[in-house]
Amino acid sequence: MGALAAPVLASTAPRAGAPVLAAAFPSDAGDAGRLVAVRAVVFDVGETLVDETRIWSDWADWLGIPRLTFMAVLGALIERGGDHLDPLRLFVPGIDIKAEFAKRADAGVPDDLRVDDLYPDAVPALRALIAAGYRVGIVGNQPTRAEAVFNGLGLALDFVASSASWGLAKPDPAFFARVAKELGLPPGEIAYVGDRLDNDVRPAAAAGMVAIFIRRGAWGWIQAGRSDPLEATATIESLSELPGALTASG
């Protein structure tokens, strides 16, 4: 399925007591559309569930770069479509990034996610969705070690994975195909929540999933600003809005 127009939201349920999103996707014939019930919600990690402020601040401190300078350069490189590791390459020409990760680990300041890096709305949203009967997964472009934070939350998640453990990274269509395979559901019954247009919203919609855009983090604000992406079924400002967005009437 190609890129989808923004669906109409309506209320339905896959089973008693479990609210879902019914997305009306126009057919190729241009008819009124068909309703697809979302049964699973899958989350990106960085700046969707995890506030990366401390992580980037630690890199600035490690390299001896003022934090404001580092963050400003990160934003400028995002605007140019750069890679998230480009600031390291700019500040330290010829840097061996893998070796630098190892140096930090040896120095007792590893580049690892922590539970206290989670946004305050992350765990409550995960719990609310699970309680409402949705199947919930977490996977983003992350190293394998990032999975430990979510596996340690004690939540009934359907799966926790990473690009490193899968050997697939967004925006590769194969990444989103793997999400559907993990859940054993057709793409149209899966909502993917993310902060980036290039890595999350557009490729998820192109894969036939219900793309939910959360407007936060550097990528979210730089790539979308105050606009609501056309490819997104819904735009939210906080994960606390997600359960409502999934059951809202259009």
pLDDT > 70? residue 18: no
The predicted pLDDT at position 37 comes to 86
DSSP string covering 135-189: EEEE--S--GGGHHHHHTT----SEE--HHHHT--TT-HHHHHHHHHHHTS-GGG
Q: How far is CA 187 from CA 173, 180, 195, 246, in A?
A: 12, 6, 19, 16
Confidence class for position 36, pLDDT limits 50, 70, 90 = low
Percent of the chain predicted with pLDDT > 90: 77
- In this predicted structure, the answer to whether residue 5 has a pLDDT above a threshold of 50 is no
pLDDT band at 248 (very low <50, low <70, confident <90, very high): low
- Does the global pTM surpass 0.75? yes
227 DSSP β-pair partners: none
Question: What is the SS3 assignment for 9?
Answer: strand
Residue in 84, 67, 88, 144 with CA at minimum distance from that of residue 113: 144
Third-level CATH fold of 8-50+117-247 = Rossmann fold (3.40.50)
For the chain, domain boundaries: 8-50+117-247, 53-106
Q: How confident is the model at residue 209 (pLDDT cuts 50, 70, 90)?
A: very high
Task: Specify the DSSP element, H or E, that contains 104.
Answer: helix 97-106
Q: Note every long-range contact of 116-120, with CB atoms under 8 Å and residues 24 or more positions apart, other chains counting.
A: 117/50, 117/51, 117/52, 117/54, 117/55, 117/149, 118/49, 118/50, 118/51, 118/149, 119/49, 119/50, 119/51, 119/216, 119/239
